[in-house]
Each structure stands twice: as structure tokens, then as C-alpha cells.
Chain A
Amino acid sequence: MKLVAITVVFIVVLFVVAYTVLAERRILGFIQGRLGPNRVGYGGVLQPFADLLKFILKEDIVPDKSTRFIYFLAPVIATMAALMTMIVYPFGPETTIPFINKTIPLVVARFDVGLLYVLGITSIGVYGIALAGWSSNNKYSLMGGLRSSAQMISYELALGMSLIGVLLLSGTLDLAAIVGLQSRWHGSSWFIFAQPLGFIIYLIAAIAETNRVPFDLPEAETELVAGFHTEYSAMKFALFFLAEYINMFTVSMLATTLFLGGWNVPFADALFGRGTFLFGLISVLGFLAKVIFFLFLYIWLRATLPRFRFDQLMSFGWKFLLPAAILNILLTATLIVVGVYGYFGY
């Protein structure tokens, strides 16, 4: 049963990721006054499959002087670490499935320490990039790998710290319980209203953590060719590409779960009643819509913002974002002790 659930979640994730890539290319095209890929299938809907076919059929080049074993291992680590976090997110409430009349929770695995699991697995993902850069035996790869790891380690701190405000309010690390706490007031007591500063810090740190524009220093084309994956081709390159987009998906899901109420759609329970199939369906769609909003935000930022310089990036992370996150913790703790949050019902 669990294996079926894991398979279904992985397939859905890979499907969404494939279409995120297509959406990114189309939206970037429209923002830049061109059409983007629209030839394969109706309006380009089959483009991801054409890309996949191309990745499989391309020649797989391995550099002569590379450290073979690690060179092969790196994309595997990156993809595995990205995929493994998928199982803890609750994407819907307990729902009764029609016809078979069974009530199932719409989450693959419910952990007591779900949030720590996500942070732990994310920190493993650094190895994929660092090892890829080192094993390629190429100076651009090494520079990209080092930059990327330094950046991910630095912003991981601010990312973790920005979540502590939510933890202080919820008192649990269980993601399903955190979502449950946000279903008061007919599903609109989202933690973003209680933690606006924490949300903004999380969003910035998350974009840096996934190495996306404006923090895409590791693959700054003008300086480093393509960063850590310069020497990777064919399916191994595709795995890194996949890992990057799955990571985007992961941090979007985490933002939705912790700050935007998870699967809670305001006033859906008044319309359909809790536990019904329709309520479950609306909730899952609401969850997906929020995640897709974040993915769109990523694409929008990529089309809008120029890149940071590396020293700016580091001093921003350590000297501004981390102190701001610590300030947010102090502020939240003070407001809880004073009783402001209690007054507003959090």
C-alpha cells in the first residue's frame, strides 16, 4: 500500500516537474517577447517527452581524467536527495474514497519529526553538487561546486532559523499537525499572517538554497561555463536538471505547508463539509495551486532580476538574512510570552 502511494507521488512529482520546465520556457518566452517551444504537440504540450528522448539518445561523454566512481555517484545523490523529501508532505486531509468507502490520510508517511527529516535530506543534497564539481577534474566545475556548496551551507542556516517562528507557534515538528493547526477560522488561520517576516526570510533563503536566479552563482554562465555540471552530458546532466527542479518543488511545498496553510482552502469546509470526497478534492487542488504559484514566482524572478556578485551574496546571507531570522525568533518568542498571539487565537 505504502509502495503504491510512493510510486504515485513520484510519478505525479516527475510529471509536474517536467511541465514546470515547459512552463518556464514558455513563460520566459512570453516575458521576453517571443513564443518559446510550441511545435511538439498542441501548443508544445509534448515538449517534455521530446526533451527526455533527446537526453536518452545523446552521447554520454565521460572525461578521461575524471574520478569515475564519484563522477557517476554525484547525479545519483543529487536526484535521490531531492526525491526523498517528497513522502512527508501532507497534500490533502483525511478523505473517504467513493466506491471502496475507505478513509485514508492523503500523506505517504507521517513522521514525528517530518520537518527535521526534510532539512536533513536537503543537507545531503549538497554532496551531489560538491562531488560533481570535484570529480569532473575541471576548474570551472570545481569553482561551481565550491561556490554552490558554500552558498547552500550559508543559506541553510537562515532557512532553518526562519522556520523556528512557526515551530514556536505550532509546538510540533509534524507537518500534518502543523497544517491541522492552520485549519481554524474555516481554514484561513495561515501562519503567514502570524509570521510575515519569517515567510519573507524563508522565501529568499529558499531561492538561494535551490541555486536559482538571482542567486544562481554556481552556474553563472558568463564566468563558469555551466558551473558544477559543465562536464556532464546526456542523462547524467538530465538528472542534475531534474534535481534542481524537484528541489524548487520541495521548497515550494514546504512554504505552502508551513506558511500558506497547506491544503486548507478558506471556507471549503463550510461549502462541502469536512471528510467528504469533494472537500478532499478541493483541498488537494488548493495545495497544488499554492505550490504552482510559488513555481511561477521562481520563473517570474528569473525573467526579472539580474545576478548577485558572489561577495554580495555571502555578506547578504550572513550579515543580513541570518540576523533577521534570529530577530524574528526573539520577536515571536516575546509576542507569545506577552500573549499577543494568544489574543488573536494562534
Chain B
Amino acid sequence: MLALLFILFAALAVGCALAVVAQRNPLYSAISLIGVFISLACLYVMLAAPFIAAVQVIVYAGAIMVLVVFVIMLLNVEHEDSRRTRVGFLLPAALVLAAVLIAEVAFILVSVDKASFPSSSSSDIGSTASIGSQLFTTYLLPFEITSILLLMAIVGAMTLARRARELSPNARVIPGAQLLAANIIDPSKALDDTTAIETDTVAEAAHLLGITSPRDPSKRD
């Protein structure tokens, strides 16, 4: 029974992994990747590691892949149809990497008989309590370093998203006097504050909006 389930989920994982690479539509690839993660979670459950399985589903399938799917949906990434020829020069590199991977698998298969397994009596090895206590005692330093790294990533993303934007080359600002609603210039003002502010030039408007204009201010358009 257990072997049957293993074959089922292993086949599902491999099949979905192949589909990730083979699919031309990026959204199908993303959905296949979710399938891979969920099959892996099922395999973890069978290896008596339910906590890892739950985290796999919550973090990878539930959080990270949602972002990936979001990006694909919002950017409306086109089908890759005729790009195949361009990656031809990567073929040798792919073959080398595949050879390394196969060698690794072969090594594991050979050495798996010699390795010493933890005695089966310590069956709480995958339980939530043992993972938690290990994480906050033996592996405290890596844990704290990881959390600082994640914090830095969050702060970095915020800084990148919030820095002053540049006008895109396609942007058109109508020359001459114009009215800008107050809340465009100062976002801290309430939405219903409709006090208008007058500007004469594009550069002045850009300055008020906090945008660095890429164009030469002396060359009016």
C-alpha cells in the first residue's frame, strides 16, 4: 500500500516537473510547479515528516507560487514559440549539468547502503516539537542569521519600490499651464482634498511630483 502511494506521488512529482520545463505557456508551467510541491509534500508525509510537509504546502505552494502566478497573470507573459533556436549554445552546458546530476544520484544510490541511519526508536525526529527545540537551541545562530537576511530583503524591496520614479520615455506632459490635484503632489493629503496647484512647465510639474525628468529641461517639447 505504502509502496503504491510512493509510486503514485513520485510519478506525479516527476511528471509535473517535466511539464514545468516542457510547457510553452508560463502559467501552465507555474501550475505544474505547484503540482510538484504538493506531490513532494505527500512524499514527506510518507517519510514521517508531517511538519515539513505542511510547511512545504504553506510556504512554497501557498505563498511563493501565488506571487509567481500573480506576476505571470499581471504581466500577461506571451507564449514562447520561436525562442527555441536561441538557446542552442546552452546545450553543452545542460549536458554537463545533467551528467553531474546523474553522477550525484548514482553516488547516493551506491552509498545509501553504507550510511548509518538514526535508530528507528527516535521516531519523534520529524515532529513539530523536536524541530522547534532544535531550531532554537542547536541551530539558533543560522536561524537568527536567516531571519536578519529576510528582514533585509523586505527592507530592500520596500526601498526599491519607493524610490523616486523616472518619467518613462513614452510619457507625455501637456506643455503650458496645467492644474494638478493636490493629492498627486503630496500623497499625505487626503483624497478628497481637491485644492488644485498650478504649474507652468513640465520640469516644474515633474519637480513637484518628485520625479527626476530624464529629458533636458532646456529642450521644451
Residues of A within 8 A of B (CB): 67, 69-70, 73, 111-113, 116-117, 119-121, 123-124, 126-127, 130-131, 134, 142, 146, 149, 153, 173
Contacts and interface: CB of A to CB of B under 8 A. Distances in A.
Main secondary structure of the interface of B (DSSP, over half): helix
Interface string B15-32: 000000000000110010
Interface of B: 27-28, 31, 34, 38, 41, 50-51, 53-55, 57-58, 61-63, 66, 69-70, 73-74, 127-128
Contact of B58 (A67, A73, A119, A146): A119
Closest 9 CB pairs of A and B: A123-B62, A116-B54, A120-B57, A120-B58, A113-B50, A134-B73, A113-B54, A112-B50, A120-B54
A69 B66 CA distance: 19
Contacts of A113: 50-51, 53-54, 128
A117 B34 contact: no
A117 B128 CA distance: 13
Given A116-B58, A173-B128, A123 B69 contact: no
Contact of B70 (A112, A124, A149): A149
A116 B70 contact: no
Main secondary structure of the interface of A (DSSP, over half): helix
A340 B65 CA distance: 42
Given A149-B66, A153-B63, 10 more contacts: A70-B28, A111-B50, A112-B50, A113-B51, A116-B50, A116-B55, A124-B57, A124-B61, A131-B69, A146-B73
A262 B74 CA distance: 42
Contacts of A173: 128
20 contacts: A73-B31, A111-B50, A112-B128, A113-B51, A113-B53, A113-B54, A116-B54, A116-B55, A123-B57, A123-B58, A124-B38, A124-B57, A126-B62, A126-B66, A130-B73, A131-B69, A134-B27, A142-B73, A149-B70, A173-B128
Contact of B69 (A67, A111, A120, A130): A130
A113 B57 CA distance: 12
A120 B62 CA distance: 7
Contacts of A117: 50, 54
A73 B69 CA distance: 15
Contacts of A153: 63, 66
A122 B134 CA distance: 28
A69 B27 CA distance: 11
Contact of A116 (B51, B61, B66, B73): B51
A134 B74 CA distance: 9
Contacts of A112: 50-51, 127-128
B62 A124 contact: yes
Nearest to A120: B57
Contacts of B57: 120-121, 123-124
Nearest to A157: B63
Nearest to B52: A113
B77 to A, nearest CB: 12
A328 B92 CA distance: 56
B59 to A, nearest CB: 9
Contacts of A126: 62, 66
Residue of B34, B53, B57, B58 most packed against chain A (CB within 10 A): B58
A149 B54 CA distance: 21
A343 to B, nearest CB: 25
